[in-house]
Structures are given as structure tokens and as C-alpha cells.
Structure 1
């Protein structure tokens, strides 16, 4: 069975999103509060404009000596980021992330509204679950008593 992003990897998710004028400091506080490593950057209608990750903050703010209190997300976000659709497969998402060295991908609906953010960890947990199920089924097939 091919796992889909929604509902197999993530189900209902409260998306943490900020607008382009929000400060990096506000994003860091939101990441800390929600224990997440990426923030979707959206317009007033929750449509995807960009994404900001912990790595962006480290490389584009701290390493450059910028002040997180007055640096807007628009200055450091990755604009028009790669994204997923709810029906995309788990395997396709993993391949995209590996080929582009991405750790987080927004999931958008047909109107480009952000409905989730998927991490590599989310995808690997799902893949491991599927692998364990396959192993259990193979073990059962190998050692189950023969039917008469």
C-alpha cells in the first residue's frame, strides 16, 4: 500500500504560520513554544509564500550578525519553496527531500493554503512503520503453520 501525506503521515495539524513582516525573533519564539523546526510564511489567506527553518535562522541571521528582533522573515525565508500535496506519496516526498537536501516541506491544498508542514522525521517514522509491518508479515508467512 502506498502511503499518502494526508492522512498517513500527518492528519489534522494546527499549522504555525507567520506573515512576511513578522520578526525572526517572533518565529523563534513560535518554534520554541510549539516544539517545531520550521514555520510557514503565508499571506493573509494562509497561502504559502515561503518557509523559515532553524537552519535559515542559523545561516542567514546569526552567522551574518543580523538582529533577530528587527529582521523580518521576508529577508531570510525561502520563497516559493518546494511543497507537497495531500495525496503525494511518502516515498515521493522522501525522494524530493533527499534530492534537494530539504528537511521540511509545506503541504498545500488546491488554493495554495498551508494545511501541514511535514518533516523528514515524520516521513521516516511512517516508512519505519511500514517496514516493520512488512517484516512482521514476512515472518508470519515464513513461520506460520501450513494450512491443510
Structure 2
């Protein structure tokens, strides 16, 4: 059984919910990523912020990224997967919630992220085709 930890991209980094959107954009640039998990004071997942969130929910509506906090942009319940979950559970989570990225948590700490690229690297062509059809067919 292949686990989430085996297919994830290790080294994901939190951003605090109190940090500004401007800082989130800077960190995304430094890390060359388009998404950051957002943590509370106890380094527990409380949201996710994407580059698209920054553009559409902050800049496009005239908010100041230097004054807007990451928590201002986080909506809904953040989704995550346990590091020991098998790949089928990962695929179900991505499919059921129609999301493209999934933080991986081990012992209540962030240990990595799984993206569509990670899925593509670890599944057969038939499995990838089936996954893509299930996730994007209804969009």
C-alpha cells in the first residue's frame, strides 16, 4: 500500500493566519509554490491560501495586501490527509472535495503537500485518466 507520505512533496511550509497577504505572496515566490497552508498559533491547519485567492479576493476587489491578513481570505473547512492514508483515500479526498492540493499531516504537524503533479508521478496512465475524468467531468 502506497501512503500519502510516500507520494507527497515534503517540506511544505505554514504561513500564520496573522501574516499579511503580501507576506504570503512573497513566501510563495520564495518557495516557488501557488498555495500555502495557513496555521493558527499552535501550528494547526486553519485554512489554505492560494495565489488565485490573493488575486481574486484581495487585489481584484481593491484590498491592500499589506494590510489584509491570510485569515481574511481563508474560507470553509480546510481539507487535509493523514500521512499514513493510502493513495485511494487521497484520490477520494481530492475527488470528493474537488480540490487540487492536499496538506499532509503527521502527528498534528504539516509534513508535506500532495498536488496533481504528485498524483501523476505515482499512478498509472489509466489511473490518472480515471481520476481526471471523475474530478473534472462535472465542472
Q: TM-score if structure 2 supplies the norm length?
A: 0.79
Q: Structure 1 pair 28/86, CA: closer, same or farther in 2 (3 Å)?
A: same
Which sections of structure 2, spanning at least 5 residues, go unmatched? 128-139
Which residue, 73, 78, 101 being the options, matches 2:75? 78
| 1:118 aligns to 2:117 (yes or no) | no
> Deviation digits for residues 15-46 of structure 1, max 9, x if unmatched?
31111110111001111111111111112332
The list of structure 1 runs, each at least 4 consecutive aligned residues, that deviate by more than 6 angstroms after superposition, is none
- Give the aligned partner of residue 17 of structure 1: 14
Matches within 5 A, 1:81-92: 81-92=78-89
Structure 1 residues 115 and 130, CA gap change in structure 2 (3 angstroms): farther
- Paired residue for 2:2? 3
3-state SS of the aligned residue for 1:39?
Answer: strand
Q: Alpha-carbon deviation of 1:130? A: 9.8
CA deviation after TM superposition for structure 1 residue 74, in Å: 0.7
Which has the larger strand fraction?
Answer: 2
Alignment equivalent of 1:61, drawn from 58, 62, 65:
58
Equivalent residue pairs, number: 127
Q: TM-score, normalised by structure 1?
A: 0.75
| 2-structure distance, mates of 1:49, 1:34 | 20
2:13/2:110 contact within 8 Å kept: no
